Structure 1
Amino acid sequence: MLYRKYQPAPPLQPFVECYFVWDSEQNLPEAFRVESPPNGFGSIVLNYGGTYAIQNPKHSVLEVPAAFITGQATHSYQLTLHDSIHMVGIVFKPTGLSNLFGLPMYEFSDERFDLLAVLGEKVQGLYDRIGEAPDMATRVTLLEQFLLYRLSLLKNPLNRTDYAANLIVEKRGVININELIGDLYICRRQFERQFLHKIGVSAKYYARIRRISYLCAELASNRWNVSDWHEIIYKAGYYDQSHFIKDFTGFTGKSPSLYVKSNIELANYLRDE
């Protein structure tokens, strides 16, 4: 499988983590399944390949629209894909979707909503143009033009909530939220309300998501020596083994040792060129 990332233009970098194109080079085996831990980023995805479904704690089976928008994944989820994969999408910074489109992100957690229903009929033309584009670069350019137009309509500047969410990402979730609120000189109630609106979960829960996301990425890519769990626990910012195991199992549904042996994470199948 081919998975290629593209970086956004400078004006969009505060809002967009990356664009991506994902293609299968041949037809998939029947009911091809992969899993993904929560990563802390919302996205918009346009699918031109076979249909697919997701399973998560909220949905036993959710058929995914051809063009969809999704918010925070609060736990690991599984994808079941059919036929072929031809997708292009936008991965947003924590507050990017809310800022560019004015969306209350708590409504989008663990969901895949039809993009047309959320943003209106104007995105149908975008979907059609991207589907007719001759190559990957052109598809990404069309997505970026769409976002640049949305940016031109944006009146509100980034605020301390955006800064806090990005700092949680930068610190890989290892951060004291109470101290962060104090450092920002912001009302706790106002901060919690804005954070839930812009990101979709509380700041403390978001920090846990980012810590698990980083940990799973490192384990799946074999960058850490899994024979020394004490070192992994320390690197991930946990104070003791029981806390680490409880948190990891709660998010992924697997113990850390089982995850290392049997994970079918999406990252294992992607070839980034």
Structure 2
Amino acid sequence: MKYLTVFPEARLQHIVRFYWILESEDGYTHHSLADMCPELLFHYNGRFNEILGDGSATPSFTAGIHGQSAQVSRFSIHNGFGMIGVYLYPQAIPLVFGIPAAEVTNQMPDLQSLLKSEAVALEESIFNAAGNSERIQLIEQFLLRRLAVTEKPEPPVFKAIAGIINAHGQHSIADLAATHYISERQFQRQFRHYTGFTPKLFSRIARFHGAMKRYGDKNISLTNLALECGYYDQAHFIHDFSRFSGQHPRIYFSGKSGATDWME
């Protein structure tokens, strides 16, 4: 399996965290864990099926948004595939698509339902591109074109969102509101509009991601990991990690869960 990341050009760094490319000549089951950030996805080779709770499968979109989510999903494909993802900051949803982020929270709308004919043209160009460098160029042209229509002065809450992500959820909500010179009530309202989550839930998922990043560290106990990642104790850590990953952290960090196959 081949996985690589590419960083965006400067004009898009406020909405794009990075691009990622995942390709394989073999089948694969992907575990999609809770994430405070949405992704714009294009399948240019093959098509995954979403595995539902009852074990049945339904075809996923070939291009669409995987919204920020507090849920766990699984997707499977039985043959080789290629896909490119745009890992976005949450505010990209209102800025690029002109809708509140909450409209895609825990949702996976296909691109055509959001953009109609523009989505058809973009998806075709991504599918027919000569390679991934060209695909990224096409995506960046699309994003810049959309921003030119919707772009407005950046509100202070954007820096607070980035601050929570970068600090892996270890911030006081009241302190963030005060730092960015807005009332806590106004902060809560703006935050939900641009992220689709309350600051508290967003921070919990960001803290969970901070813990996930420690995958591969064989020399740390779950207790120390919990404390270093800002949890009150191991019990709170296990509770949140199990909720947002669908598995006990001991299984996840063992590397035997399937959720880390793309990292290997």
Correspondence for 2:43:
47
CA RMSD of aligned residues (A): 2.1
Mapped to 2, the partners of 1:56 and 1:41 lie a distance apart of 22
Correspondence for 1:174:
170
Correspondence for 1:202:
198
Give 1:263's match in structure 2, choosing from 241, 252, 257.
257
Secondary structure of the residue aligned to 1:181 is: helix
Contact 1:2 1:270 in 2 (8 A): no
CA apart distance, 1:250: 2.1
Give 1:223's match in structure 2, choosing from 212, 217, 227.
217
CA apart distance, 1:224: 5.0
Alignment of 1:103 with 2:99, yes or no, is yes
Give 1:63's match in structure 2, choosing from 59, 75, 91.
59
Q: Give aligned-pair identity as a percent.
A: 28
CA apart distance, 1:115: 0.2
> Residue deviations 1:9-39, cap 9 Å, x none?
1111111111222211x232xxx32313223
Correspondence for 1:239:
232
Residue ranges of structure 1 left out of the alignment (5+ in a row): none
Mapped to 1, the partners of 2:186 and 2:51 lie a distance apart of 34
Residues 34 and 155 from structure 1, CA distance in 2 versus in 1: closer, same or farther, beyond 3 angstroms?
closer
Correspondence for 1:112:
108
Mapped to 2, the partners of 1:47 and 1:111 lie a distance apart of 18
Mapped to 2, the partners of 1:104 and 1:143 lie a distance apart of 21
Mapped to 1, the partners of 2:261 and 2:72 lie a distance apart of 15
CA apart distance, 1:49: 2.4
CA apart distance, 1:159: 0.8
Contact 1:53 1:63 in 2 (8 A): yes
Correspondence for 1:183:
179
Correspondence for 2:84:
88
Secondary structure of the residue aligned to 1:54 is: strand
Scaled by the length of structure 2, the TM-score of the pair is 0.90
Mapped to 2, the partners of 1:70 and 1:60 lie a distance apart of 20
Amino acid in structure 2 at the alignment position of 1:234: L
Give 1:128's match in structure 2, choosing from 120, 124, 131.
124
Aligned residues between the structures: 262
Amino acid in structure 1 at the alignment position of 2:193: H
CA apart distance, 1:181: 1.7
Correspondence for 1:252:
245
CA apart distance, 1:258: 2.7
- More displaced stretch, 42-51 vs 6-15: 42-51
CA apart distance, 1:71: 1.4
Secondary structure of the residue aligned to 1:113 is: coil
Mapped to 1, the partners of 2:113 and 2:17 lie a distance apart of 24
Scaled by the length of structure 1, the TM-score of the pair is 0.88
Amino acid in structure 2 at the alignment position of 1:40: M
Residue ranges of structure 2 left out of the alignment (5+ in a row): none
Alignment of 1:78 with 2:77, yes or no, is no
> Residue deviations 1:147-171, cap 9 Å, x none?
1112222331111111111100011
Alignment of 1:11 with 2:29, yes or no, is no
Alignment of 1:138 with 2:134, yes or no, is yes
Secondary structure of the residue aligned to 1:218 is: coil
Contact 2:44 2:126 in 1 (8 A): no
Correspondence for 2:210:
214
CA apart distance, 1:257: 1.8
Residues 118 and 191 from structure 1, CA distance in 2 versus in 1: closer, same or farther, beyond 3 angstroms?
same
> Residue deviations 1:81-134, cap 9 Å, x none?
232211122111131222222221112122211101111211211111121111
Q: Relative contact order (alpha carbons < 8 A, sep ≥ 6): 1 or 2 greater?
A: 1
